[in-house]
Chains A and B, each alone.
Chain A
Amino acid sequence: MDPDRALAKRASNGDLAAFEALVDLHQPRLTTMAARLLGSHADATDAVQETLVRAWLALPRFRGDAKFSTWLTRICLNAIHDLRERRGQLADPEAPEAVDLRDGFAASELAGELQRALAALDPPFREAVVLYDVLGCSYAEISELTDVAEGTVKSRIYRGRAELAQLLAGTSTAGRESE
C-alpha cells in the first residue's frame, strides 16, 4: 500500500495543501539525489523545482500504478537528465566547474573528494550507487526507475562502487585480477 496514495489523490484533484504536504515529505530526498548526481546545489534546486512543476501538471494523470515516491523520483531523474544534457550542450569549456554559490555546507561538501569521484563515474553507475547507497532504494525500485533489469542494477552498483573506491584510493585495489 502506498502511504502517499490519499494525499496524491487529493493533490490530483487540485488540493494544493495536499501537494505541499507531499512536497515537504519528498523534496529533501530529491534534493540530495539531484545534488549528488549533478554535483551542484544550485543545479539540484533547479532540478527539484522543475520536478515539482512537472509533477503538479502531470498529477491528474497519475494512475497509481507505481508508488507516488517512485513516480516523483522518476520525474526528478528525467529533470536531472535534461539539465545535464543542456549543460553538456551549452557548457562553456572555460567556465569553472559548477559549485554552489549559496550554501556553505553544500559548497564544501559537494566539492569534496567523494563528490569528485562520483562525478567521474559513468552516469548509469553514478545513478545506481546514489539511488542504492545514498537514497536507500531497493534493487526493484532502481530497476523500475531506470528501466533496466535487476541484474543490471546490481552489476552497476558493484562496478560503480569498485570504481569509486579505486578513484578515492588512487590505486587499483578495487579491481580483481583474473587468473
Chain B
Amino acid sequence: MSENSETTPIGARGCESRRVVLEARDVSKCYVLDEIEVHALRGLDLEVCDGEMLAIIGPSGSGKSTLMHIIGLLDRPSSGIVTVEGEEVSSMLPNQLAAVRNKRIGFVFQSFNLLARTTALANVELPLVYSGVSGAERSRRAKEALERVGLGDRLNHLPNQLSGGQQQRVAIARALVTEPSIVLADEPTGNLDTRSGMEVMSILQDLNTEHGITVVLVTHDDMVSRHAQRIVALRDGKVVREEIVEKRVIAHERRAKFDAGGEE
C-alpha cells in the first residue's frame, strides 16, 4: 500500500451543503480476545455525505472492517454514536436494527455471502421477504435488480453455478433491491480476479454516478480506492488522513483498456 502524496490535512472533511447520510461520532470498539483487550477503533469520527462515493483504506488491523460492520449495523460500538439519516441507531434494539439494515442499508461482502442451494432470484428476493413484500411484486423487483447488474439471464442459477464475479453481482443486486440510501461494500473485489473486479467496480460506480446512491467501500487496493470521490485512511482505529480524489478512475474506461490488452 503506497502512501499518496496528494493528501489534504484532516479537518477538510464535511459535507458542506450536502446532507449527512451516515455519521459516526467518537466511535470506539474494543474486543476481548483470549482475555486480551483489542482496541479496533479508538474514538473515530466519520461523516458520509449524500450521494458521495467514499473509500476507506488502511492496513490490515487498522479497524476498517470493524468500522464497516458498525456503520452497517451488523455490530455495535463499545462507545460513541452512530446515526443513519439523522436517526441515532446506537441505542436501538436488535429487531429495530434489523429493520434499518433491511430498508436503508445494502451490504456487499468480500465473500459474497449468498445462500447456498438457493437461486440467484431467491437470494435477491431475500431482503424483500423480510420487509414483507409479497409474491409477484417481490420477484418483479428482484428480477429488475438482477437485470441492472447484467444477470437477467441467470435468474435461476444457483451460486455454485456462477463465477465469483457473477456471485458478487448477485450480492450487489441483493443490496440494491430494497432501494437503500447507502450501499456498503466490504472489500468487494477482494475475492475476484482483475477482470471481474473491474466489472463489480463499474457497477458500483454506476450506482453512484447514475443513480445517486451513496457508496462506501473498504479496500486495501489503491486502484480500487481511486474509483471513489473521497478516500479516508485509517490506522490503529483512527482516521489519519483524508483525500479528495482529483482524478477519479472511471471503471468503464479502465475495463475497456484492459480488454484491449493494454496494461494499466
Interaction A to B: no
B residues near A (Cβ < 8 Å) are: none
